[in-house]
Amino acid sequence: MSKANPTKDVFSANHVMRTFQVDTTKQTLINLEERGEIPTATRVQRGKTSYRMWDLEQLPKIGEKLGFLKKPECPKVVSVFSLKGGTSKSSLSFQLARSFALHNVRTLVIGLDAQETITQTLAKSTGTLFNEDTSGIYHVLAGGVDLSSTIRGTDLETLHFIPETIELSVLDMWLKNQKRKEYVFRERLVAPLVESGNYDLILFDCNPAWSEMVTGALGASDTLLSPLGADINSLKAAKIFIELLADFQDEMKHTFKTLRIIPTMVEPNKLSQTILAKYRVQYEDLCTVGAIRRAIAVQESNVQGKALLEVGNNTAVYQDFIEVMREINAELMDNPAPFQSDAEFPVELQGGQFQQSING
């Protein structure tokens, strides 16, 4: 019999069932453990009663068995991108990445923002500090550093990331001088990672402005997720965004097997609800059914370096994320083709200013 470690993440049977939306009885969970279908829990004595407690590192196996997200049949490359900041983009990227990792989907996050937002969030789980000697994708592409040496782990074996570094601020300038610059990310980052067989999901958290880096990430991705805030400025940016995507399709001869707009930062006031309704009407074929409300619980979970599944599964915004993640997962499962960049666009887009935008 063990005593609970107060500094270690442990999960009771009830917590596990809330985390993974298990709709069976606690006895079913116990039966699965006794049959060896999920990891064996530690028995923790509290008074005269013994409780089952699972460690964090055991959760991915439980998630794979009982959770609501399923592993894609082949590796998927996803870009999360929005033209406008303040849309909860990096929060969405982090919550998606960690939630999939908790379902035993081997996930790698590549951030493209020199502000290092998602790197700082991912690093919190291990308390890792990065310095000026830290290598990232700039050092791989421009400096010849081995790609595998830049990959860092987290407190989940199924969640890795490549740290963002200050050198990302000059990577665009370097890319502009390269031949076949649009394909550098695909050929020198994504292809080797896919071929390694180490990851089921590679996720780019793009910087919130169209750039050579974003062009490279989107050109290497088969899925694009774009969070749009339910506010006036995001609504105005949406039209420009769709136009730029159309030109991207034409000039790159590339599109996405899955393209979804995700309404975020939704508030209960009339203006926010009106904008949400406009998204659903104007972009009916692209907009997710689910929308994510503005909630402090998201920031709180990010500060801890944890997913809402772990620390916020009794909140309303957790249910928002579940609905959106189920939709995204269904799209990934419905498109089982292996990684490639020559699929046809699922919807017709019309636009005009892609090249002018990235050329300034």
Assign 3-class secondary structure to 290-330.
Answer: CCCECCHHHHHHHHHCCCHHHHCCCCHHHHHHHHHHHHHHH
Q: How would residue 293 be classed by pLDDT, with cut points 50, 70 and 90?
A: very high
Own/partner pairs, 170-179, CB within 8 angstroms, 24+ separation: 170/138, 171/137, 171/138, 171/141, 171/142, 171/212, 171/213, 172/211, 172/212, 172/213, 174/138, 174/141, 174/142, 175/141, 175/212, 175/213, 175/216, 176/212
The mean per-residue pLDDT over the stretch 268-290 comes to 94
pLDDT at 126: 79
Higher pLDDT, 145 or 209: 145
Read off the pLDDT band of 358 (50, 70, 90).
very low
Query: How confident is the model at residue 48, as a pLDDT?
Result: 80
Question: Mean pLDDT across the stretch 7-31?
Answer: 88
- Report the alpha-carbon angle 97-262-165, nearest 5: 45
User: What is the C-alpha separation between 10 and 59, in angstroms, rounded?
Assistant: 10
What does the block give as tokens for 139?
Answer: 């050092």
pLDDT band at residue 245 using 50, 70 and 90 as cut-offs: confident
Q: What is the pLDDT of residue 5?
A: 42
Supply the pLDDT for residue 251.
85
pLDDT of residue 235: 92
The answer to whether the pTM exceeds 0.85 is yes
Q: Detail the DSSP E strand segments found in 211-309.
A: 223-229, 258-264
**Distance between CA atoms of residues 285 and 34, nearest Å:** 46
Q: What is the mean pLDDT of residues 317-346?
A: 75
Question: What local confidence, expressed as pLDDT, does residue 340 receive?
Answer: 55
Q: Residue 145, class by beta-carbon neighbours within 10 Å (0-12 exposed, 13-18 middle, 19+ buried)?
A: middle
Q: Which two tokens stand for residue 257?
A: 């097997």
Average pLDDT of the segment spanning 188-203: 96
pLDDT exceeds cutoff 70 at 336: no
At 4, the pLDDT band (50, 70, 90 cuts) reads very low
Tokens for 75?
């590796």
Residue 328: band (very low, low, confident or very high) from pLDDT cuts 50, 70, 90: very high
pLDDT level of residue 80 (50, 70, 90 thresholds): very high
What is the radius of gyration, based on Cα positions, of the chain?
21
What average pLDDT score do residues 117-132 get? Answer: 84
* Residues paired with residue 152 on neighbouring β-strands, in sequence order: 161
Give the residue from 70, 103, 105 showing the smallest Cα distance to 328.
Answer: 70
Higher pLDDT pick, 157 / 114? 157
